Structure 1
Amino acid sequence: MPSSATPVAPPRLWDISPLVAPDAPIFPGDEPYRLTWTARLTPGCPVNLSAMTMSPHVGAHADAPLHYANDAPAIDEVPLDTYLGRCRVIHAIGAAPLILVEHLRHAEAELPPRVLVRTLARADTHWNPGFSAYAPEAVDWLAARGVKLIGIDTPSVDPADSKALDSHQQLRRHDLRVLENLVLDDVPEGDYELIALPLKLQGACASPVRAILRDLP
């Protein structure tokens, strides 16, 4: 007999990765995305085959500790478990130039191990050197509450003109992971499942990720 049960809709997926393209905003001097064709589908060739060059920091990406410390692991050596699991999206729209603890306190209760902070009403499509970053004290505050991964919808957790990279160094001290260049434009504040696995790139200082959020059951 046919079932009378109401079909259950699959959990909604939120793609929080920007398009990787030649005009994607990058730090000045970084290697942009370039695609070339090494073979094209013709009567004498059965496939299209492309090759690409790019910085691993183009688009949504995971920094390896090697990015900010010479004696630290490359991205292929970083355990994957932190990039997968329950996370919280916190809205701090307009927090500039730094995300402070006061921008996060309203979402403090029962923080999961992963926190992504939205600072932009709409993601930048061109290089903006005045993007928001994390105050080092905010990184400390999150780490003290058991957070193992932080994310942001701008190119870096440190300001564009920073030389000391204080927030990156706080990541190193607390052994936190980081995701940068996320797109959180349409994601409501709340808890989700994060899936953002880096590629196993030998010796690399970072890796692109296809970052998604999935509604929790």
Structure 2
Amino acid sequence: MKRLWDISPLVAPDAPIFPGDEPYALRWTARLSPDCPVNLSALSMSPHVGAHADAPLHYADGVASAAEVDLHPYLGPCRVIHAIGCGALIRIEHLAHAAADLPERVLVRCMQRADTVWNPNFTAYAPETVAWLAERGVRLIGLDTPSVDPASSKTLDSHQQLLRLDLRVLENLVLDDVPEGDYELIALPLKLAGACASPVRAVLRSL
């Protein structure tokens, strides 16, 4: 059987989130009892908690929501490239060693261990790296930190590159145990009407 790597963090009340985001919360609306045959729960959370796919609507108006994005970029051949300890930004030189015959999906492992508490000093993508990947046919990029832009950014230059180049993105992945190499990615967003992002259960499968 093909091996699966679950690259999604646990979604829980203490999951690290951007300051101001809505944390995950669960409440019970019904519980098993002599008068009730089921447990029923209700959830509230930002769609950016845990592993998630930003929709273009997250960084522009009048563009696709999570329910409207093409699903093709989120499913198919993928390369995991290690750039562990590369610093504040993923630059072209951090990826060049694995750039031959890139598939349409590239995930970058920046960390030995994904953060389990909020850390504003995470690694993001340099915008020129996003453009360089797009020039090589990449349609989706991802990483094991909260955002493709630094936490302090007000211009979101890498997100704007995604918009300009029509790329998709996965953030908050867990690549701790994933060797560098090629896989099949499965990380479909939910069909959430009007949402700026969607949680995903991201997995990699051996080829």
- Bin for the TM-score computed over the shorter chain: over 0.9
Counterpart amino acid of 1:33?
Answer: Y
Q: What is residue 50 of structure 1 aligned with on the other side?
A: 41
Q: Helix, strand or coil: the match of 2:9?
A: coil
Over the aligned positions, Cα root-mean-square deviation in angstroms equals 0.4
**1:129 aligns to 2:117 (yes or no):** no
Query: Partners of 1:26 and 1:208 in 2: how far apart?
Result: 13
Q: What is residue 208 of structure 1 aligned with on the other side?
A: 199
Q: How far is the alpha carbon of 1:85 from its aligned partner? A: 0.1
TM-score normalised by structure 1 residue count: 0.95
Following superposition of structure 1 onto structure 2, how do residues 3-152 of structure 1 map, counting pairs within 5 Å? 10-152=1-143
Query: Partners of 2:197 and 2:99 in 1: how far apart?
Result: 29
Q: How far is the alpha carbon of 1:95 from its aligned partner? A: 1.3
**1:170 aligns to 2:161 (yes or no):** yes
**1:157 aligns to 2:178 (yes or no):** no
Q: How far is the alpha carbon of 1:72 from its aligned partner? A: 1.1
Q: How far is the alpha carbon of 1:96 from its aligned partner? A: 1.4
Pairs aligned (count): 207
Q: Helix, strand or coil: the match of 2:158?
A: helix
Counterpart amino acid of 2:51?
Answer: A
Deviation by residue 1:63-97 (Cα, 9 ceiling, x = unmatched) = 00000001211110101011000000000000110
Counterpart amino acid of 2:74?
Answer: Y
Q: What is residue 3 of structure 1 aligned with on the other side?
A: none
Query: Partners of 2:77 and 2:162 in 1: how far apart?
Result: 19
Counterpart amino acid of 2:77?
Answer: R
Q: Helix, strand or coil: the match of 1:194?
A: strand
Query: Partners of 2:5 and 2:197 in 1: how far apart?
Result: 23
Counterpart amino acid of 1:88?
Answer: R
Percent of aligned pairs with the same amino acid: 78
Counterpart amino acid of 2:55?
Answer: A
Query: Partners of 1:202 and 1:104 in 2: how far apart?
Result: 35
**1:180 aligns to 2:180 (yes or no):** no
**Which is greater in Rg?**
1
Q: Which runs of 5+ in 2 are unaligned?
A: none
Query: Partners of 1:166 and 1:48 in 2: how far apart?
Result: 45
TM-score normalised by structure 2 residue count: 1.00
